[in-house]
Amino acid sequence: MRRLAFLAGLCLALGGCGLQPMYAGGSSGAIARGLAAVEVPAIEGQAGWLVRNALVDRLGAGGEAAPLYRLDIRLDDKLEGLGVLSDDTVGRERRSLRARYQLVELASGEILVDATAGSDAGIDVVSSEYATIAAEQSALENLSREVASQIATRVALTLRARK
């Protein structure tokens, strides 16, 4: 009996915690419709192309909805050698991708979000140049998805707070 009373109290406390599903209503929910109304202009460079595509996929942008917001993004993609071996060659690299972005409401020109996102990846430099280039490319693709995910989450939180 005590166990049942404890579980009932726990359920009541959980219901009052204020947590709400962000994507309630699926693709017809308020947040999903707001995300679909975000225009993502072209971003310079290969990293920009990757980030933009990941964002369009994640936001559901580019659909039928007229854009209400614009997401301006500037990227900084760096590849630097870290570990120097005894023969003065680089044994490890670090690729970092940073994004400075602003979410602008088109009707008023108001900047709703002005923030940064970023991620890093370590890359082993091996004797095969092809393998090293492939690892650098894979790191860029993974970093692009991670940065896009961070941006999309922040935009969704901002749009939810405005509803």
Run means of pLDDT, 10 residues per run, the chain, 163 residues:
71 59 56 86 96 93 77 95 75 92 95 96 88 93 97 93 77
If you write DSSP's letter for every residue of 8-20 in order, what string do you get? HHHHHHHHTS---
Say what the pLDDT of residue 47 is: 96
Residue 3 domain-assigned (yes or no):
no
Question: Quick one: 3 exposed, middle or buried, by C-beta within 10 A (0-12, 13-18, 19+)?
Answer: exposed
Domain count, the chain: 1
How far apart, in whole angstroms, are the C-alpha atoms of residue 103 and residue 82?
Answer: 35
User: In this structure, what token pair is assigned to residue 1?
Assistant: 């009996």
Say what the pLDDT of residue 42 is: 95
How far apart, in whole angstroms, are the C-alpha atoms of residue 78 and residue 93?
Answer: 10
Say what the pLDDT of residue 18 is: 58
Say what the pLDDT of residue 16 is: 57
pTM above 0.85, yes or no: no
Residue 155 domain-assigned (yes or no):
yes
Say what the pLDDT of residue 60 is: 83
CATH of the domain at 74: 3.30.160.150
Domain of 111 in residue numbering reads as: 27-162
Q: How far apart are the first and last CA of the chain?
A: 42
Say what the pLDDT of residue 17 is: 57
User: In this structure, what token pair is assigned to residue 137?
Assistant: 């490319």
Residue 6 domain-assigned (yes or no):
no
Say what the pLDDT of residue 28 is: 56
